Copies of this chain bind each other. A is one copy, B any other.
Amino acid sequence: MIIIGELINSSRNSIANAIRDQDIEAIQKVGLDQWKAGAKFIDVNAGTFDDKEPEYLKWLVQTVQEVADVSCSIDSPDPDAIESALSVHKGIPMINSISLERNRYENMIPLIAGTNLKVIALCMSDDGMPKTVDDRLRTADRLINRLLQNNLPFENIFLDPLIQPISVDTSFGIEFLNAVEKITTNYRGIHTICGLSNISYGLPARNFINRAFMIQAIAKGLDSAIMNPLNKQLMASIIAAEALIGRDSFCINYIEAYRSEMFDF
């Protein structure tokens, strides 16, 4: 599982304060904790700071990479902010995100075309959020083709079929899961990714249902997620789910996780 740590996001109060105060120590702790917990990318987001977003996003990348040998996921819809962050980033970052919406696509593609950047590609077009498997596959197909035509390597694409809450429509869970299965079957070698927590919007015991959905999505082929790697129960669920579908030779990760007390909660 390729985990993108989601915690450095200015929509969280503690992070917004740390950014405003330029509190290097606070940001580095959140970055380092996520990296140590297994995140392969650290998402950085300063979206609440309008004018200062380019400056702050750059600062976040520098601050995180000063203490952790890890790539960032640069989380912004603003090409200037992304460019500013890219100018200081070491290694190969992820761009979070592009979609098939005309404005977003046209803003992003000059930054991405012909590069080796990893890219989160949302299955969203100007027709709005997808509902069915077919909606997702149609958008996925067009998006993949366009990205390939713009010389982005196939294996750099992280397709997000977009989770919607089952409290809104009972079919939203299974439509997402079946989309993941179809995409990983039809486009072998492409990554699929999701932001998990939307699934449980409007329901009680959200963490429980989030974990169950992650376990199901892994069984359907999901290999990446934007999430909180400090959530021990969620991490343990991922480790168990991967062992169960044959992604963990001799269950070594699972047994190691057990020994390190990952399952004590």
A residues within 8 Å of B by Cβ? Answer: 166-167, 170-171, 173-174, 177, 199, 203-205, 208-209, 212-213, 215-216, 218-220, 236-237, 240-241, 243-246, 248-251, 254-255, 258, 263
Contact = CB atoms under 8 A, between A and B. Distances in A.
Given A220-B219, A241-B212, A174 B246 contact: yes
Q: How many copies does the complex hold?
A: 2
B208 A240 contact: yes
A241 B216 contact: yes
Contacts of A255: 203-204
A199 B251 contact: no
A163 to B, nearest CB: 11
A263 B208 CA distance: 8
Given A171-B246, A174-B245, A208-B263, A251 B203 contact: yes
A225 to B, nearest CB: 15
Contacts of A174: 244-246
B170 A246 contact: yes
B212 A173 contact: no
B250 A170 contact: yes
18 contacts: A166-B243, A166-B246, A167-B251, A170-B243, A170-B246, A170-B248, A173-B243, A173-B244, A173-B245, A174-B245, A177-B244, A204-B255, A208-B236, A209-B244, A213-B244, A216-B241, A216-B245, A219-B219
B244 A166 contact: yes
Contacts of A218: 216
Given A170-B248, A213-B244, 16 more contacts: A166-B244, A166-B251, A170-B243, A170-B251, A171-B246, A173-B243, A173-B244, A177-B244, A177-B245, A208-B263, A209-B254, A212-B215, A216-B216, A216-B241, A219-B219, A219-B220
A212 B171 contact: no
A88 to B, nearest CB: 40
Nearest to A252: B170
A172 B79 CA distance: 47
Contacts of A245: 173-174, 177, 216
Q: Which 3 A-B pairs have the closest CB atoms?
A: A216-B219, A173-B244, A212-B240
A195 to B, nearest CB: 16
B170 A209 contact: no
A89 B132 CA distance: 46
Contacts of A205: 240, 258, 263
